[in-house]
């Protein structure tokens, strides 16, 4: 649990009591590769912190999977819209690789928001991070060439995500055809 404590302490000031309260909310869970943690249509009830593994968030457009978020070790992740509105999710969350994580019940987390200014701050930071991720992806989709999009993706994501995510999932995240991504990757290797 050292890692989640460290990540949390980088975001908010945390007393020993607050840490112990938070720690007691965590359940450790593991999922095999390709497991679906949440199906669209279901309401998200948990925030996740990945201990080790790789998760992806996607939704369907005309039956096609559009990936919108990848997360790996030491990151918080959730289908955020569903979580904060407590309404059915339009997104799926799936394990790309075998993944172990801590799950935090959202209802209990909101009780912590009310009990402590530090946790309220955590709630603000999570919302701001989710907002900025959406803005960043929207801007990348709108303003960059396919090659620039991929270079941005490499720069802004942990190597684990870049190296281990299937190429067609990265292509859908970048809004480019899988064949274009293959060509760009070949060009980058030989250039």
Point out which residues bind its own copies (CB under 8 A): 61, 80-81, 84-85, 90, 113, 116-117, 120-121, 123-124, 127-128, 130-132, 134-135, 138-139, 142-143
Closest CA to 160 of 74, 43, 31, 92: 74
Comparing CB distances to its own copies, the nearer of 72 and 83 is 83
Closest CA to 56 of 155, 149, 144, 168: 168
Comparing CB distances to its own copies, the nearer of 19 and 113 is 113
Comparing CB distances to its own copies, the nearer of 55 and 140 is 140
Comparing CB distances to its own copies, the nearer of 74 and 120 is 120
Comparing CB distances to its own copies, the nearer of 2 and 117 is 117
Nearest approach in angstroms of CB 49 to its own copies is: 19
Greatest Cα-to-Cα distance within the chain, rounded to the nearest angstrom: 56
Nearest approach in angstroms of CB 172 to its own copies is: 13
DSSP symbols for 69-93: EEEETT-EE--HHHHHHTSB-S-EE
- Decide: 54 and 99 in contact? Cβ < 8 Å: yes
Nearest approach in angstroms of CB 135 to its own copies is: 5
Q: Give the 3-state secondary structure percentages of the chain, helix then strand then coil, rounded to 5.
A: 50, 25, 25
- CA dist 43 and 171 (Å) reads 27
Nearest approach in angstroms of CB 123 to its own copies is: 4
Nearest approach in angstroms of CB 29 to its own copies is: 26
Ordered alpha helix ranges (H), 12-158: 16-23, 80-85, 106-115, 117-143, 146-156
């Amino acid at each position: 649990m050292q890692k989640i404590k460290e990540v949390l302490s980088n975001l908010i000031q945390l007393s020993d009591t607050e840490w112990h309260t938070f720690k007691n909310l965590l359940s450790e869970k593991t999922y095999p590769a390709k497991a679906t943690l949440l199906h669209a249509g279901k309401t998200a009830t948990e925030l996740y912190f990945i201990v080790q593994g790789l998760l992806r968030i996607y939704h369907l457009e005309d039956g096609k999977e559009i990936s919108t978020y990848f997360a790996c070790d030491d990151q918080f992740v959730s289908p955020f819209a569903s979580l904060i509105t407590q309404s059915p999710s339009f997104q799926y969350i799936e394990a790309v690789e075998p993944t172990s994580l801590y799950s935090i019940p959202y209802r209990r987390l909101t009780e912590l928001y009310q009990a402590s200014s530090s946790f309220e701050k955590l709630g603000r930071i999570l919302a701001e991070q989710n907002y900025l991720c959406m803005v960043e992806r929207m801007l990348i989709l709108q303003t960059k060439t396919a090659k620039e999009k991929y270079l941005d993706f490499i720069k802004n994501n942990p190597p684990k995500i870049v190296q281990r995510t299937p190429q067609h999932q990265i292509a859908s995240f970048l809004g480019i055809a899988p064949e274009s991504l293959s060509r760009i990757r070949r060009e980058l290797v030989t250039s």
